[in-house]
Each structure stands twice: as C-alpha cells, then as structure tokens.
A and B are shown apart, each in its own frame.
Chain A
Amino acid sequence: MEKNVKRKESILSIREKKLAYSLILPTMILVLSIVIIPLLANFWISFKPISLGDLRPPKLILKESVRSKLSPTNDFAKIQYRYRNSSSKYELNEVAFSDLIPKGIIVTKIKSQHDCKIKKNKLVCKLGKIKPKAFGKIILTITKNESWNDNDNPKYQKPIAKYKSINILTSLEFTFENFKKIFSASEFWDVLKVSIYYTFFGTVGALLIGLFTAQIVNKSFKGRSFIRGLLLFPYVSPVIAVAFSWVILFDPYSGIVNSLFIQMEVIEKPINFFGQKYTAVSIFGYEFNFPLALTMVIMFEIWRYFPLSFLFILARIQSIPQDIYEAAEIDGATPLQQFYYLSIPFLIGIIAVLFLLRFIWTFNKFDDIFLLTGGNAGTRTLTVNVYEQAFAISNLGAGAAVAVVIFIFLLVFSVIFIKFSKKEAI
C-alpha cells in the first residue's frame, strides 16, 4: 500500500519535472543562444586577427563580356571572361567556373594560362589558386555553325563559379596580438583608471543622493506620490533624449549654463564642459587640475540613476515597522538618533546590494558616455574603448579583447554580488 503511494508520487513528480523543463527550456535556449553563444564567440574573436573589413569573406568576381557580336553578316566574335580576387588579404582556393555555350556557336580558340576545356557545349575552366588582389582574363574566339540563329547569344547564361575561401571568423588562425596590443597601449591603464573612477563615484554619488531623496520623500506631504513619480523621470526617459539635452544645456556657445554664468559674471569665458579634459582650479593657493569632462559625465550618471537607488531604499524604509519609531519618539530619541540607530541598520543590507548591483551596471555603461563625449576629453572607459577599437579603428579582434577584460571584471563583481545577495534577498 505504502509502496503504491510512493510510486504514484514519483509519477506525479516526473510529470511535473517534464512539464517544468518543457516550460523553461525553450526560454533558456533562446536566451542562451543570443547571450551565451555570442559571449563565447567574443572570446573566439578576441584571439583572431580580424578587422571590420574581413567580415566580408573573399569573393571571386567574374565578368563575362562579348566583343563584336555574331550576326548574319559577321561570322566571328570573342567572349572575354575577367576574374578578380576581391580580397586584398586572403587567397582563393580550388577556383573553377563553367559556362554554357549555346548550340549554334562553336569555340575555335581558347586563349588562357589555365586549364580550360569544352565539354558538351560547356566551357569548364580550372583556375586553381588565386592570390590576393590577383586578376586575369580568358578569351574565347567563337564562330557560328548551321544551326545558328539570332537567339544564340553567348551571354544568355551567366558563368557559374566555384571556389573555396577562408572565412576568417571560422578559420583556425589564432593570435595573441590583440591582447598584446591592448595591454601594451599606454592609454589602456588610463582607460582602466577612468573606468574605475567613473564607476566608483557614479555609484556612490547615486546611492547617497538616492538615500537623501528617500529620506525626503518618506515624510508624508501633499502630492507625495506625484513627486515620487516626477523624480523617476530621468531614469525612465530615453537615454538619447536626456543625454542630448544635457549636451545642449552645457554647450559652450549656445548653452544656457554658460550664458547664465557669463551674464552673472561668474565666469569670463565660456567653459566647454563636455570637451575639456582638465580645468585648473586653485583652492587656498594650491593649484590642481580638475578633470572637468569626467566629472560632468559622473554628474550625469548620478542624475540619471539616483531615482533607482531612491526607489529601492524608499521601498525598504516603508517596510520598516513604524512602532519602533514611535517607541523611540516616546523615549526621547532625536531625529538624528532615530536615523542613525534605527533606519541605518535596516537599510545597510539593501544599500550594500544596491552598491554592488549599480557598480556592475555602471561599469558596463556605454550609452551615456558615448552620447555625451564620445569618449573624448579623458572620459574613455573600457566599454567605450570596445567601440573605439572595434568600430572606429576597425580592429574587431582588439575590441573583443577589451570586451574579454570587461567580462573578467564583471565575473569577479558578480561572484561578490551573489554572495551578498544570498544574505540579503532582494
């Protein structure tokens, strides 16, 4: 009896398992194929000497032309085939082509360096190996026979070419050159420094402002939910819209900030906020170079992402039981004491998780900096460097190598994140 029950349960659980897999596997397969496979492909590409131009595989370009047409009065004509290797880097192998010769036409002479034959009204040419950029031609002399009529145009069918070419993406040619190149470039360490600087200050800034905002919005007042929605605007609107309005706001020639500062005599000359790497600042007679564009980019990051931290921290604050505050109030705790001894211990977990999460995403951020400065003026982070290497210098391999570096950083951060988030379920 008992055995039967067990067996029934196991049948049910097997059914459940099957259903579960049939529900989740298609989703997982789709995501994996668009995320994990490209990720692996990125590793693959990072070890390859591949540039943007190599994405078009080498091709044989073959053109057929007819000189002097056959006609009732003209008995002789020439067909010319011209071929060329489209690639300037890779050779073509086992090249051959064939072309049908109409029945009314007889080939009298073949002028070629290659092995060309006529078999059953068909021209077959074996060209063998063609070097990069190499070209050549094959000329046939033709005449007409009795069955010739006006429709027998030698060009009525296109020649069919066959060849083998290397696809650099799938070939087994590997190199360490990409990694060597990016690590030895003097700018790489600057880029890394800028990345970490941007990530750290962007994350901390957004968190602090978010914490402050959460405290402010936590107090109940008229129109609070409206204000809460309003403060999320920077986060929900398209990055492209807000980035360009910042650029226009701080434009050196027609930007409002510069015009205002000049009119109010705060500054004499307009400042190029997003285009100037350093500006000299002197405090107490001590002069130093202030990284202006980088700071502006960080400000943008904080402005755009403080709503997110604010939302999460507010949600956590509102889940704190209110009676402990009431008890503290009765005991005479001041507001600051309440914040320090009651709120902070409740919030510290979510703040830690938010810090790590935001750290990872800020590290991965590409759009914002790319749109604001294009990575110029000392704001090039690793992510912008991927674009720069792969698409501006068109060295896909080097770009992929930078992406690998990003991924390794990400892996380290994620391991830390997962350890933390298990403690603090979010």
Chain B
Amino acid sequence: MFWNYGIFCAILSGSSWGIFWQIILTILGILTTGLQLSLDIAPSLFSGALIGFIYIIYQKYIQLKQHIIFVIITTLLIYGVTLGDPYYGENENIFIELILVLVTSIFIWISVYLTLKNISIGKLSRYQSEKFYIRLLWGLGLITLILITLIPFYIMVMTSLKNQQSLILNPLDLSLDFSNGFSNLFISYIELFKNYNFHIFLANSFFVSIVTVFITLLFSIPGAYALARLRFPRKEWFSSSVILIYLIPSIVLVIPLYAVFSQLGLRNSLFGLIIVYPATTIPVALYMLRGYFSTLSSEIDDAAIMDGLSRLQIVFKIAMPLSKPAIVSVALYVFMIAWNEFLFAFMFLDDPNLFTLSRGIISLNSSEVPQQHLMAGAVIATIPIMFIFIYLERFLISGLTSGSVKG
C-alpha cells in the first residue's frame, strides 16, 4: 500500500510537522509579542511537505553543514508560498515575522530530519514503516503533552504579572511590560501581601502543614514498623483496614465533623484542622512506610536483638536511620497533601485571620478582585510545592509508586 513507501512517509511527516509547528509557534508568537498574527496552516503544510520530499531525494548527499541550507530553503518556501506575507496581520512587524518564520523553519527541519532517519525512498518493510510511524507519533505526542501540561501554569504566571488595563485591552497580549520598572511587574503580589493578609495565610498554611507532618510521622512510624516487622494476631486485618480507611472520601466525613466540631467550638480554629489532617494522611503514610520497612533486611533486626537492643530501640536506632529517604519522602508527601487541602479548610474556617492559603485564595474568587490577583495567589500557593517537588523529585516518585497514592 501507499503508506509503506518512504516518499509518502516523507511527505506525511513534513506536512504534519509543518502544521504542528505553525499552529504552536503562531500562538506562542501572539502570546509573547502581543501582535495580532493570523493563523494560516496552508503555507507550512506545503512547505513542510516539500521539504520532506526534497530531503528524501537528496538525503544521501546531506552533511552536517547543510542543515543551515535546509532551514533557509524552508524559510524561503514559507515566504514563497505566502507571497512574502506569512502572517497577514494588522500591526505588522516585519522583523518579528522574519524571526518567527525562521524559528518555525528550524523546528520543522529538525523534526523532519529526526523522524525520517534511516527511511529510504522506496517501499519499506513493515518493521521500518512501523518504526517511522511510532517516531512521528512519539515526537508529536511528547511535545503536545509538554505543552498541554505547561499551558495553564504559563497562563497563571503571566496573568499574575500583568495589570488590569492591559488585560482588558488585549487578553492575548501576555508579553511582559518592563517600561514601568521591574517592581511594577510584581504589583499584584505586593498588593496581596499588603491588603489581603497573604503573609498570615502563608504562615497558617506552613504551621498547619508542618504540624500535620510531625503528628503523622509520630504515629505512622511505629505503626508501620509493627505492620512490617512484628508478628501479631489480626495483622492482616489491620493492614487491609488501613487501605480501606484511605479509600473513604473526605466528603463523607465532612458533615458529621462539621456538626460535632461546631458544637465543641473546634470548627473555626486551626486546631480543628490539625486534628483532621493527620487522620487523613496517616493511612497513606502507614502504607508507604510499611512497604519500605519490609524491604529492610530482617537480619539486621535479629543481629540487634542478639546485641541486646529492645524492639523500641531497634525502631529508633536502626529502622529509622536506615529508612531516612523513605521518611523524608513520606514527610514531603504529607506536607503536600496538607498544603493542598481545600475541603476542610473551606468548610471549617470563617475567620480571615485563620485562613490557610487554599481558603484565602477562594476568598479572592469574586468579581471584586481582579483576576491577576487571583493568579498571583495561585502562584504563591504553587511555588513552595514546586520547590519541594523539583528538589526532591526522585524521592517523591519512588515514594509515590511504592505505596499507592491518595488523589
């Protein structure tokens, strides 16, 4: 069939990369420069297909230096197909357009070059053609995934750095305006800390999360050790009830806790949250730590018992130091859950002096507060989590996969 031929693969890959990069880079161009560019996929489709065609014919003669020539050919093709006007926008800026077209050409060329490696012009074997299609799909898929993942975060950060006027004037213009000084970019952040008590929210969030981590560890380390190492009747029952408990959703617990805490006067207090949070995180921590403790060799325990250590001493002097990485990852994970928690904070807290960040950001979600403030709040809530995550990603991933995870 026709799709087994190298020449078809070349044209297909050229045109798909052409459309793909044209769409993405035009949108990026609009968002970063604020120019009103129009999106027309036809030029890149034709240029991409042509460049794929040229490549597959001349590939034998291509050397490293000729990449530049091919990029230039692609650029010329795009300009040629559009009769010299690739983005027929209103506020034209020829220089920026040229850069955009050049970047588009570079991306198209590199992508075409990488996907068409080892593909000859004639009929391909099933193995070769599958490899090609998978490579094409892989490239398109990877870039799409990265973009889809990042776009909301990009919007969040960029919106928080804009001001009300320019957002209303042109919502698509996310370019940064340095003309009013550097500190003017962060005006929403300054506003949040000055007028909306965000320093209090931050402090409350840190306080609640850290206390939750400590209580969780205090209770789950001994429990997990017992579940992993000691023999006792009904051990299985304990283990499976831990799993069951962490399948119970907060929404089922929120009404009775609300009712009882209201009557006990615990509802509108951080203490109430500090009681509830560990109960929801301990099962996860137990599960993760139990998995880790049972990977430790039990011979160490036996040796320690021979040396006269009691079981409790073993927990503190042997098991805990050995499982430091696991404990750190559990601590971080628990911190993350407590920091991100929204339902109980939303239900329980009424007093603005007690708000955690999640609760505080909810209060920004009204028509009176401009959206760049809301986004600045979102950035403030996300940054600590991102730091933890980037710094300790490896720990966290191994921890997440070793014990399954609450969502």
A residues in contact (CB < 8 Å) with B: 13, 16-17, 19-21, 23-24, 26-28, 30-39, 41-42, 44-45, 50, 55-57, 167, 169, 212-213, 216, 219, 225, 227-242, 244-246, 248-249, 251, 254-256, 259-260, 263-264, 303, 305, 308, 311-312, 315, 332, 334-336, 357-358, 360-362, 364-367, 371, 383, 386-387, 390-391, 396, 399-400, 403, 406-407, 410, 414, 417-418, 421, 426
Contact = CB atoms under 8 A, between A and B. Distances in A.
Contacts of A357: 404
Contacts of B152: 234, 242, 245-246, 249, 303
Max count, chain B CB within 10 A of own CB: residue among A31, A231, A251:
A31
Given A34-B275, A38-B256, A303-B148, A241 B361 contact: yes
Contacts of A371: 342
B283 interface: yes
B253 A39 contact: yes
Contact of A410 (B151, B231, B247): B247
A33 B278 CA distance: 12
A236 B159 contact: no
A26 B221 CA distance: 12
Contacts of B258: 390, 396
A212 B31 CA distance: 29
B402 to A, nearest CB: 9
A421 B226 CA distance: 22
Contact of A418 (B142, B243, B394): B243
17 contacts: A21-B226, A27-B219, A27-B223, A35-B253, A35-B279, A42-B256, A237-B340, A237-B382, A241-B378, A244-B375, A246-B152, A248-B155, A251-B371, A365-B407, A414-B244, A414-B247, A426-B404
B385 A236 contact: yes
Q: B interface, how many residues as a size bin?
A: 35 or more
Specify the main secondary structure of chain B where it touches its partner.
helix
B117 interface: no
Contacts of A167: 263
Max count, chain A CB within 10 A of own CB: residue among B131, B220, B371:
B371
Contacts of B226: 19-21, 23-24
A245 B375 contact: yes
B248 interface: yes
A241 B257 contact: no
A305 B149 CA distance: 11
A366 B250 contact: yes
Given A24-B223, A231-B149, A246-B152, 6 more contacts: A28-B223, A55-B262, A245-B378, A248-B159, A335-B130, A386-B252
Interface string B392-407: 0110110011001111
A169 B263 contact: yes
Contacts of B255: 42, 45, 386, 390, 396, 399-400, 403
A312 B407 CA distance: 13
Interface in B241-283: 241, 243-245, 247-260, 262-263, 275-276, 278-280, 282-283
A254 B340 contact: no
Interface of B: 27, 30-31, 36, 38-39, 126-127, 130-131, 134, 138, 141-142, 145-146, 148-153, 155-156, 159, 167-168, 170-172, 174, 219-220, 222-223, 225-227, 230-233, 235, 238, 240-241, 243-245, 247-260, 262-263, 275-276, 278-280, 282-283, 286, 311-312, 315, 336, 339-340, 342-343, 347, 357-358, 361-362, 365, 371, 374-375, 377-379, 381-382, 385-386, 389-390, 393-394, 396-397, 400-401, 404-407
B286 A41 contact: no
A109 B148 CA distance: 83
Nearest to B26: A264
Max count, chain B CB within 10 A of own CB: residue among A167, A246, A248:
A248
Contacts of B283: 31
A405 B170 CA distance: 48
Nearest to B359: A240
B286 to A, nearest CB: 7
A42 B238 CA distance: 23
Contacts of B36: 263
Contacts of A390: 255, 258
Contact of A406 (B126, B167, B244, B251): B251
Max count, chain B CB within 10 A of own CB: residue among A27, A45, A264, A358:
A27
Nearest to B31: A256
B231 A13 contact: yes
A32 B241 CA distance: 10
Nearest to A399: B255
B139 to A, nearest CB: 9
Contacts of A361: 247, 249, 406-407
Contact of A240 (B130, B167, B342, B386): B342
Contacts of A260: 27, 30, 172
Given A256-B155, A308-B405, A403-B252, A418 B240 contact: yes
A360 to B, nearest CB: 6
Max count, chain B CB within 10 A of own CB: residue among A212, A364, A400, A406:
A364
A167 B220 CA distance: 36
Contacts of B389: 229, 232-233, 236
A24 B222 contact: yes
A245 B150 contact: no
A367 B347 CA distance: 12
B375 A366 contact: no
A364 B263 contact: no
B253 A233 contact: no
Contact of B361 (A21, A244, A403): A244
Contacts of B156: 241-242, 245, 248
Nearest to A254: B171
B282 A23 contact: no
A367 B342 contact: yes
A57 B401 contact: no
B379 A241 contact: yes
A410 B130 CA distance: 43
A55 B400 CA distance: 40
A232 B378 CA distance: 17
B138 A39 contact: no
A248 B374 contact: yes
B48 to A, nearest CB: 19
A255 B145 contact: no
B333 to A, nearest CB: 9
Given A38-B257, A244-B378, A426-B404, A230 B150 contact: yes
A312 B401 contact: yes
Contact of B248 (A35, A212, A237): A35
A214 to B, nearest CB: 11
Contacts of B263: 55, 57, 167, 169
> Which 10 residue pairs spanning A and B have beta carbons closest together?
A34-B279, A364-B249, A41-B256, A241-B378, A27-B223, A20-B230, A20-B232, A23-B222, A23-B226, A38-B256
Contacts of A251: 371
A262 to B, nearest CB: 10
B379 to A, nearest CB: 7
Contacts of A417: 247
A263 B87 CA distance: 13
Contact of A264 (B39, B170, B361, B381): B39
